[in-house]
């Protein structure tokens, strides 16, 4: 069973159990209240009747709020729980004012007789026991699943405990000869419920108006400080819909960070927030930012990328008053030269505008390297050409052999690719110079080869 399925089942179970508990208490209190004439017990019966209505309303609200999100309700139906809590609280507060009015009238009238019996105390004692077990179960489930509807229902049952104690105290006063004890107890119950209900009313209105839960927001702010790769964040928004909490924000990540690594950073953000708010719906929007530690090469590459193009062989030569920059700009080979030149000019202008240290820019325009093209493999019928390459390689004592030849024809031109085995212990500069010389000799002997790709590999001279 998934977390959501378990949550829905638990919420419906405790809500339905509360309905049956409220039915029992309402009936029991009404019978005893009418038989004894106790306003305190009758006010408790009305209170329990409201609990019954509230419990039933909670059950319906929980069932509806569990429906998945749809096109008309992209955030789901969780607000139904908040509306249910609002209705329950408003009804409860209205009833409290009615009970206060009735209690005051009884005190003024001064003619009401209350009969205190064993059942007067029995019904209130049983009520306390039932209310305690139900309020604990409801509040526990409400906290686990952040359900305001269940929390409101728990409030009804928990206030019954205190109000029942006040009623018992009023009955004791009545037995002692203080005839207004019952009415004062009823008023005391109503005032207490008004106070607790007012707090829940504020909390419910906050949820309906998307007021940010301050404790959750502060915890998220603290945890964001611990995540590496996040420069800053903004637009942190937290809202609650029923038991579901939605979190979204913008995070600033270094623009030179590869997308996959940036995605890992946002995954960590979601994971950390989920520890604070389990089962939260989290949306993270990434925004690139320019790091003050970026090199001039990084900045040049980013500016070219912003123009929708790519470049390579970036060289930034530092002179006395700044930099002279040159690089190869890759353009689609089908692009008219006028368009490519305009793009080059635009990039040169952007570089000088955004990087004050750049004094001059020279751009070499060439065909984009990264593209998929149709080619013909002619390796098998190029044995003579391969043999010539091997003969050229044998002229250099540092080259131990060549293999894994691939010769293809691309757009009417021949392209040669192969592995070149060389002695170990050479530096990168030495290998690069060797390969450049090798390519030059191949081009000189085999002019039909227009492109050469040599992959150097070290090989022990003995083997």
Residue whose entry in the numeric block shows the structure tokens 């320019």: 290
Q: Which residue has the higher pLDDT, 330 or 91?
A: 330
Which of 256-260, 296-300, 368-372 is least confident? 368-372
Q: Are 157 and 135 in contact (CB under 8 A)?
A: yes
Under CATH, which number does the domain 214-289 receive? 3.30.70.1350
Of the candidates 1, 24, 113, 20, the one whose C-alpha atom is nearest the C-alpha of residue 59 is: 20
pLDDT, average across residues 387-397: 92
Q: How confident is the model at residue 199 (pLDDT cuts 50, 70, 90)?
A: confident
Q: What's the order of all strands across the beta sheet hosting 358-367? A: 310-319, 322-331, 358-367
What distance in Å separates the CA atoms of residue 417 and residue 415, rounded to the nearest whole number? 7
What distance in Å separates the CA atoms of residue 351 and residue 304, rounded to the nearest whole number? 9
DSSP 390: H
What distance in Å separates the CA atoms of residue 85 and residue 143, rounded to the nearest whole number? 15
Domain ranges of the chain: 3-208, 214-289, 296-367, 375-458
Domain 296-367 is in which class?
alpha beta
What distance in Å separates the CA atoms of residue 23 and residue 8, rounded to the nearest whole number? 23
pLDDT at residue 209 in the model: 78
CA angle 131, 154, 47 (to 5 degrees): 60
Of the candidates 62, 253, 41, 19, the one whose C-alpha atom is nearest the C-alpha of residue 156 is: 19
pLDDT at residue 9 in the model: 66
SS3 85: helix
Is residue 105 predicted with pLDDT exceeding 60? Answer: yes
Is residue 53 predicted with pLDDT exceeding 90? Answer: no
Q: Are 428 and 367 in contact (CB under 8 A)?
A: no
The H or E element containing residue 284 is strand 281-289
What distance in Å separates the CA atoms of residue 262 and residue 242, rounded to the nearest whole number? 32
CA atoms within 13 A on the CB side of 63: 9
On average, the pLDDT of the chain sits at 82
CA angle 117, 47, 38 (to 5 degrees): 25
Q: How confident is the model at residue 344 (pLDDT cuts 50, 70, 90)?
A: very high
Domain 3-208 is in which class?
mainly alpha
Q: Are 373 and 333 in contact (CB under 8 A)?
A: no
**375-458 domain in CATH 3.30.70.1350?**
yes
pLDDT, average across residues 201-219: 78
**Pairing status of strand 413-422 against strand 399-410:** antiparallel
pLDDT at residue 462 in the model: 37
Q: Which residue has the higher pLDDT, 35 or 447?
A: 447
Is residue 3 predicted with pLDDT exceeding 60? Answer: no
Which of 61-75, 162-176, 282-296, 381-395 is least confident? 61-75
SS3 240: strand
pLDDT, average across residues 17-33: 78
Q: Are 300 and 355 in contact (CB under 8 A)?
A: yes
What distance in Å separates the CA atoms of residue 272 and residue 252, rounded to the nearest whole number? 17
Domains 214-289 and 296-367 share a fold: yes
SS3 451: strand
**Pairing status of strand 375-377 against strand 399-410:** antiparallel
What distance in Å separates the CA atoms of residue 438 and residue 405, rounded to the nearest whole number? 15
pLDDT at residue 436 in the model: 93
Instruction: Give tens-digit pLDDT for 405-459.
Output: 999 998 888 999 999 999 888 899 999 999 999 999 999 999 999 999 999 998 6
The dihedral built from the CA positions of residue 225, 228, 229 and 231, taken in this order, carries a sign that is positive
């Amino acid at each position: 069973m998934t977390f959501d399925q378990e949550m829905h089942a638990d919420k419906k179970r405790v809500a339905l159990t509360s309905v049956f508990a409220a039915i029992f208490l309402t009936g029991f209190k009404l019978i005893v209240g009418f038989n004894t004439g106790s306003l305190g017990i009758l006010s408790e019966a009305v209170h329990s009747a409201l609990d019954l209505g509230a419990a039933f309303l909670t059950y319906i609200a929980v069932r509806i709020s569990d429906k998945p999100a749809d096109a008309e309700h992209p955030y789901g139906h969780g607000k139904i729980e908040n509306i249910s809590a609002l209705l329950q609280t408003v009804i409860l507060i209205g009833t409290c004012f009615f009970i206060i009015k009735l209690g005051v009238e009884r005190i003024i009238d001064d003619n009401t007789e209350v009969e205190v019996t064993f059942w007067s105390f029995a019904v209130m004692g049983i009520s306390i026991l039932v209310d305690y077990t139900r309020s604990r179960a409801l509040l526990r489930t409400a906290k686990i699943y952040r359900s305001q509807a269940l929390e409101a229902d728990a409030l009804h049952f928990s206030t019954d405990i205190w109000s029942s104690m006040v009623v018992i105290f009023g009955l004791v006063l009545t037995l002692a000869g203080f005839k207004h004890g019952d009415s004062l107890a009823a008023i005391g119950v109503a005032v207490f419920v008004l106070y607790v209900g007012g707090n829940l009313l504020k909390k419910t209105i906050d949820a309906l108006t998307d007021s940010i839960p301050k404790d959750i927001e502060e915890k998220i702010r603290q945890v964001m400080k611990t995540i590496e790769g996040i420069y800053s964040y903004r637009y942190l928004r937290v809202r609650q819909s029923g038991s579901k909490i939605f979190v979204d924000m913008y995070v600033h990540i270094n623009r030179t960070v590869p997308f996959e690594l940036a995605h890992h950073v946002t995954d960590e953000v979601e994971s950390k927030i989920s520890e604070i708010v389990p089962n939260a719906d989290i949306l993270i929007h990434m925004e690139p930012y320019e790091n003050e530690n970026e090199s001039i090469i990084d900045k040049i590459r980013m500016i070219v990328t912003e123009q929708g193009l790519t470049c390579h062989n970036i060289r930034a030569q530092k002179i006395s008053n700044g930099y002279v920059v040159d690089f190869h700009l890759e353009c689609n080979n089908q692009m008219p030269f006028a368009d490519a030149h305009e793009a080059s000019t635009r990039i040169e202008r952007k570089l000088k505008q955004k990087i004050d240290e750049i004094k001059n820019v020279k751009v070499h325009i060439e065909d984009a390297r990264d593209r998929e093209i149709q080619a013909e493999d002619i390796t098998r019928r190029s044995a003579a050409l391969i043999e010539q390459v091997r003969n050229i390689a044998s002229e250099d004592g540092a080259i131990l052999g060549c293999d894994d030849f691939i010769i293809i024809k691309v757009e009417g031109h021949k392209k040669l690719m192969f592995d070149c085995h060389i002695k170990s212990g050479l530096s990168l500069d030495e290998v690069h110079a060797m390969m450049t010389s090798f390519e030059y000799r191949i081009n000189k002997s085999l002019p039909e080869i227009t492109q050469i790709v040599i992959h150097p590999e070290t090989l022990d001279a003995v083997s």
